[in-house]
Structure 1
Amino acid sequence: MKHIDNEKWILYVTDSLDEDTRVHYENHLYSCDHCLEQYLKAVQAAESQMPVLSNPLGFTDSIMKEIAVVEEKALIKPKKNLRKQAFMHYAVAAAMTLALMSAGVFSQLVSTVSAFENSAAKEERSIISGWLNEADSITEKIEENIREGNEHE
């Protein structure tokens, strides 16, 4: 297995490598304990070069306050936009309804649906009538057979 040298791990830790190389190094860390040790040494070396925070607790608090301010602004803005958007949607829907009503689309739709329902009802009656006629003919045949059977006895 080919190991990655310490200088390259320092480049990795300082984010000086391209994305493909970084992915390759990260995958290599899963299978190589030697390179994992080199990586940890590079992290320690890079950490010593980082600026020291004078007040780490204050730093965290200031970041949390900034996040709260950003979230608050994000929550305030959409309310105005949502009201305006909802009003526009209702206005467009009302305008389209009036236009369709004046064009007579809804009355044509109602007459088309009524015609469809009437044709479906006629088809149902004809199917049912056909079944009843078949049932009548079957019962007539049975009655004829019974009569013929009685006549032969």
Structure 2
Amino acid sequence: MKHYSFEEWLQYVNDEVNENTKEELENHLYSCDQCLDQYLIAVEASESSLPILSDISDFTDLVMAEVSKQKPVVPDTVRNLNTMSMVPSVPDTKMTNMKKKPFYQQAVFHYLLAAAATLLLTFSGVFQSLAAYANSIEKPQIQEKKPSVTEGVINKTFAWMDSLEKKEANKK
């Protein structure tokens, strides 16, 4: 990436460059932080040569009046999407010549379709049967628990040991 010197940025600030160079420098500022710092230093250096505004609020009002006269134009897909231009407001012939969308392509149609489907499913009982099915799955199935072989052996061993202890207790 090519970086521009402080002198080049100073010439840009003082408006001493041609239009092609000006556009190139402006586009470069979007992608290079180092040159942006140089540009800001050049603006500060030439700040004393800028005109002094006697009435700041009047200047602001004039700028805002000019801005309100202009409207942003969305760039065509053929042009670079990063560039936006401001043009004076003119009647947009594209919008007036454009066909209105069919009803089935509008958002209202989709909302109505969703509402109708919801009402149909509600009144037909689909949601109720779905809820009953979910409840049946959620409840655990009650089954007799059969002890495992290991548990049976352990239980018989403890029973045998308890019987031995009782016999010993009866002998005493």
TM-score range, shorter chain: 0.3 to 0.5
Higher relative contact order (CA 8 A, sep 6+): 1
Please state which structure has a larger fraction of its residues in strand: 2
Please state which structure has a larger fraction of its residues in helix: 1
